[in-house]
């Protein structure tokens, strides 16, 4: 039995969560395999960097072309491993990556180019400065199962175009999608040593964290993120951490109930609620509360739950039994504490073992787990509020701060309120789709993580910033070098007056008294 357990621990099994079919079994990369992959990337990275940004952009352009041609194949692979509807695989995964490539193709050269840095200090006017952006070396990426293509791909494309090598450790539940990404990148011209996938379980991820990578990008749970941060701190390894959310939806008293309820239903149930940006808390003004609940229930009951490969399916399965049990426990806790179960709340065993009914709960409160812990399932918990001040306090009453949405007919009101919500992204009259806006940074505050991915800020995470300063008169000794003395001190006082005194006469006097500073240098 011990031998069987040991062997099993070295195998990851890719399964279709809708049918339970085993798609493929793959061996786990050992610690030695992971360390070797990182070293291989280090050895090849300099050459990759040397080819220049324009040539790497050309590779991204070819990747974009390859992915466009294989969009249906890739989307089907995603659906097979995650269960999400084929249409969602196209929109939230394939389309997102195509547009991310578009953003980098259009902007990477400009954003990665040297940047002149003007000097405002008069003492530094005879210098020329510039900011130089250099790749870290090898970027390690640990990606989750809920978006197994768009999350690692958007991060990897930014890392690659910046001149880094990448070693990706995907979730053990979605290894095949990661290998599909690797195949696409290699076919587009990324050398095999520059983008590598190490398949495995948690031990494989731990090996990557302990390897000689130069930066780590991790997407996953808060608990795992904290452990990774602690290990990274031992050698000051830079990290980007995206650790999930408990995103609030605020429906104000002037909101369009029909539009807001449709947004809530989609935002709570797309990808079976297994989205870090999904609506996990919904607050509705009391004047709209019952009407909103009625609309949500009616729309939820119309959703078709089934296999994601069926074009009629709106909501697919959960990824596995363990996640389904978390959802069940949250719903049971809420109902036991007084929440009203308006629809759903049960497994759909007749459809398959991993299916759960889209569920709407009313009269929830912050004493319930479902309003405090990340549920990550197809549940929409709704709570009433009376004032803007109250709902802002409720929205901020969470350890998470990834995103939020505000629903109002008055955009100015929504934007003003958005400044008071503690989150990395606020959407007004929409939800979740911020992830697909390639120009927008993705990331949160509080326990939702550190750093950003996507857009120019995500690209900047993939480079080290270096300042280079050139003196324009190299033959001249600098006035701040040795040769201090009383005269030099008075001249420096006068020089400071010439720059920062509040009155112009004092500035002029300071300029005259400091004019002879060059003659005071003895060394």
Is 439 in the active site? no
The answer to whether 163 and 49 have CB atoms below 8 angstroms apart is: yes
Confidence at residue 518, expressed as pLDDT on a 0 to 100 scale = 61
Is 276 in the active site? yes
Structure tokens at 316: 């697919």
CA distances from 440 to 389, 489, 502 (A): 28, 50, 42
Give the integer Cα–Cα distance in Å for 66 and 338: 53
HSE-CB at 401 with a 13 A cutoff on CA atoms is 18
The answer to whether 462 and 162 have CB atoms below 8 angstroms apart is: yes
The three-state secondary structure class of 112 is helix
> Consecutive sets of 10 residues in the chain, 523 residues long: mean pLDDT of each?
43 96 97 98 98 98 98 98 98 98 98 95 90 98 98 98 98 98 98 98 97 98 96 97 97 98 98 98 98 98 98 97 97 98 97 97 98 98 98 98 98 98 98 97 98 98 97 89 90 93 95 77 60
Q: Does domain 248-438 have CATH number 3.40.309.10?
A: yes
CATH of 17-243+457-466, one of 3.40.50.720, 3.90.1170.40, 3.40.50.2300, 3.40.605.10: 3.40.605.10
Catalytic residue among 88, 155, 180, 242: 242
Q: Is the pTM value of this prediction over 0.85?
A: yes
The three-state secondary structure class of 246 is coil
Domain boundaries, the chain: 17-243+457-466, 248-438, 477-520
Contacts of 258 (CB under 8 A, 6+ apart): 295
Catalytic residue among 28, 276, 282, 434: 276
């Amino acid at each position: 039995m011990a031998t069987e357990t040991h062997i099993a621990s070295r195998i990851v099994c890719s399964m279709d969560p809708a049918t339970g079919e085993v798609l493929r079994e793959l061996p786990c990369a050992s610690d030695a395999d992971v360390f070797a992959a990182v070293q291989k990337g280090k050895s090849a990275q300099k050459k990759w960097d040397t080819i220049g940004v324009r040539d790497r952009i050309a590779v991204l352009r070819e990747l974009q072309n390859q992915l466009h041609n294989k969009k249906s194949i890739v989307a089907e692979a995603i659906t097979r491993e995650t269960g999400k509807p084929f249409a969602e695989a196209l929109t939230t995964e394939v389309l997102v990556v195509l547009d991310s490539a578009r953003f980098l193709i259009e902007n990477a050269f400009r954003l990665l180019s040297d940047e002149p840095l003007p000097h405002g200090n008069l003492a530094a006017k005879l210098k020329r400065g510039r900011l130089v952006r250099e790749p870290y070396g090898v970027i390690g990426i640990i990606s989750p199962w809920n978006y197994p293509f768009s999350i690692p791909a958007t991060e990897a494309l930014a890392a690659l175009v910046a001149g880094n090598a990448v070693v990706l450790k995907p979730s053990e539940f979605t290894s095949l999608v990661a290998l599909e990404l690797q195949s696409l990148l290699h076919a587009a011209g990324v050398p095999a040593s520059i983008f590598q996938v190490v398949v495995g379980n948690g031990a494989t991820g731990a090996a990557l964290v302990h390897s000689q990578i130069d930066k780590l990008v991790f997407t996953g749970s808060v608990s795992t993120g904290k452990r990774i941060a602690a290990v990274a701190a031992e050698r000051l390894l830079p990290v980007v951490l995206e650790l999930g959310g408990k995103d609030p939806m605020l429906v104000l008293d002037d909101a369009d109930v029909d539009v807001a309820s449709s947004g809530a239903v989609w935002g709570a149930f797309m990808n079976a609620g297994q989205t870090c940006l999904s609506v996990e808390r919904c607050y509705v003004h009391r004047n709209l509360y019952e009407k909103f609940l009625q609309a949500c229930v009616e729309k939820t009951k119309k959703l078709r739950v089934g296999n994601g490969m069926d074009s009629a399916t709106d909501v697919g399965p959960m990824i596995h039994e363990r996640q389904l049990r978390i959802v069940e426990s949250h719903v049971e806790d809420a109902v036991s504490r007084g929440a009203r179960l308006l629809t759903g709340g049960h497994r759909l065993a007749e459809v398959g073992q991993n299916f759960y009914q889209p569920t709407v709960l009313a009269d929830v409160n912050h004493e319930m787990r479902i309003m405090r812990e990340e549920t990550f399932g197809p549940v929409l918990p709704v709570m009433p509020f009376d004032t803007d001040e109250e709902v802002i306090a409720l929205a901020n009453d969470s350890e998470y701060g990834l995103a939020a949405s505000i629903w109002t007919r008055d955009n100015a009101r929504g934007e003003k309120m958005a400044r008071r919500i503690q989150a990395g992204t606020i959407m007004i009259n929409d939800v979740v789709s911020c992830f697909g806006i390639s120009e927008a940074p993705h990331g949160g505050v509080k326990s939702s993580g550190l750093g950003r991915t996507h857009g120019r800020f995500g690209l900047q995470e993939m480079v080290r910033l270096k300042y280079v300063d050139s003196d324009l008169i190299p033959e001249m000794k600098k006035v701040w070098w040795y040769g201090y003395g009383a005269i030099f001190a008075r001249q420096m006082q006068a020089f400071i007056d010439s720059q920062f005194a509040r009155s112009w006469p004092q500035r002029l006097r300071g300029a005259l008294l400091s004019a002879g500073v060059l003659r005071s240098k003895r060394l």
